[in-house]
Copies of this chain bind each other. A is one copy, B any other.
């Protein structure tokens, strides 16, 4: 469950104020935050506490994550000249704290740790827009108006993600999840042309590691087949697409992950239980289904409800 910590009092107690990047930069703290949902909920895997802008921030692009806002960029990416502001990531030097966090967590967990990286499109959208966007107008204008610069940008971001994920695997992550949270803003044609090749670089570059490769986005109903084709083994599905439909779209030999609406967790328990069971029933028809929420946990969610959802998934009720 992504962003599960936000609902936990023990998270708020240790997290403090300020940028998430500060917390990510402290391995003991980041490891503790990664472990909290596993302890509290008994989930079957942990996801590294991180942020999609960690690598670009680490190489000095001038990105921060403003509390209550999201990623903000002091000088957004405008044109070809800005490519010079990006360089390859050397994980051991640029993000040693990430590797230390992975080592601590992997040493303490008896369930798999899923490594974390942002996908090229979504990271690029923050660099270009300079802050969270609802329209991605500048991002789309760049990709369509100057495709060669766009491709250079997303290819560079793909190399950053690949380097980060490989280093996380070496440090002990036993699966990876690539977050293309906002790819759903694109048409299938644009995704295939401007995004898929860069994301494929990452998945193909991880093939030799043998770890499961998960791919996440929201509002990606029409992109599920393409996200699978990019090389993901497991494709995240939000609640907008029924799991049987999603399983058809990702095709054989691929699994789907999802798709309980996190808003459901704010309803009375009988509703939550019924909808959790409905997801499990639908998932039974989707080979390799991984139960999850369809998006991040809402901060106002009652942790006890999430605990009971996990229990239902584990067959501990009725």
Which residues of A are interface residues toward B (Cβ below 8 A)?
A: 135-138, 140-141, 144-145, 184, 186-190, 219, 221-222, 239-242, 245, 261-264, 266-268, 271, 275, 278, 298, 300
A135 contact set on B, CB distance < 8 A: 262-263, 298
* A interface secondary structure, majority: helix
In whole angstroms, what is the CA distance A291 to B141 when docked?
A: 21
Contact B263–A240 (Cβ < 8 Å): no
The 5 lowest CB-CB distance pairs between A and B, nearest first, are: A140-B263, A144-B267, A141-B266, A187-B239, A144-B271
Contact A145–B219 (Cβ < 8 Å): no
Seed contacts A137-B263, A144-B267; 16 additional CB < 8 Å A-B pairs = A137-B298, A138-B266, A140-B263, A140-B264, A145-B266, A145-B267, A145-B271, A184-B240, A187-B239, A187-B242, A188-B242, A219-B240, A221-B221, A222-B240, A222-B241, A222-B245
A222 contact set on B, CB distance < 8 A: 221, 240-242, 245
Contact A264–B144 (Cβ < 8 Å): yes
Quick one: which of B136, B219, B221, B266 contacts A263, CB cutoff 8 A? B136
Quick one: which of B140, B219, B275 contacts A261, CB cutoff 8 A? B140
Which residue of chain B is the closest to A240 with respect to CB atoms?
Answer: B222
With both chains docked as a complex, state the minimum distance between the C-beta of A17 and any C-beta of chain B, in angstroms.
Answer: 23
With both chains docked as a complex, state the minimum distance between the C-beta of A277 and any C-beta of chain B, in angstroms.
Answer: 13
With both chains docked as a complex, state the minimum distance between the C-beta of A76 and any C-beta of chain B, in angstroms.
Answer: 15
In whole angstroms, what is the CA distance A190 to B190 when docked?
A: 29
With both chains docked as a complex, state the minimum distance between the C-beta of A286 and any C-beta of chain B, in angstroms.
Answer: 15
With both chains docked as a complex, state the minimum distance between the C-beta of A136 and any C-beta of chain B, in angstroms.
Answer: 6
A141 contact set on B, CB distance < 8 A: 263, 266-267
Which residue of chain B is the closest to A138 with respect to CB atoms?
Answer: B266
A135, A144, A300 interface centre (most CB from chain B within 10 Å):
A144
In whole angstroms, what is the CA distance A262 to B136 when docked?
A: 10
Quick one: which of B138, B145, B278 contacts A268, CB cutoff 8 A? B145
With both chains docked as a complex, state the minimum distance between the C-beta of A267 and any C-beta of chain B, in angstroms.
Answer: 4
A188 contact set on B, CB distance < 8 A: 240, 242
Contact B221–A240 (Cβ < 8 Å): yes
With both chains docked as a complex, state the minimum distance between the C-beta of A303 and any C-beta of chain B, in angstroms.
Answer: 16
With both chains docked as a complex, state the minimum distance between the C-beta of A193 and any C-beta of chain B, in angstroms.
Answer: 12
In whole angstroms, what is the CA distance A262 to B264 when docked?
A: 32
In whole angstroms, what is the CA distance A219 to B264 when docked?
A: 19
In whole angstroms, what is the CA distance A144 to B267 when docked?
A: 6
With both chains docked as a complex, state the minimum distance between the C-beta of A269 and any C-beta of chain B, in angstroms.
Answer: 10
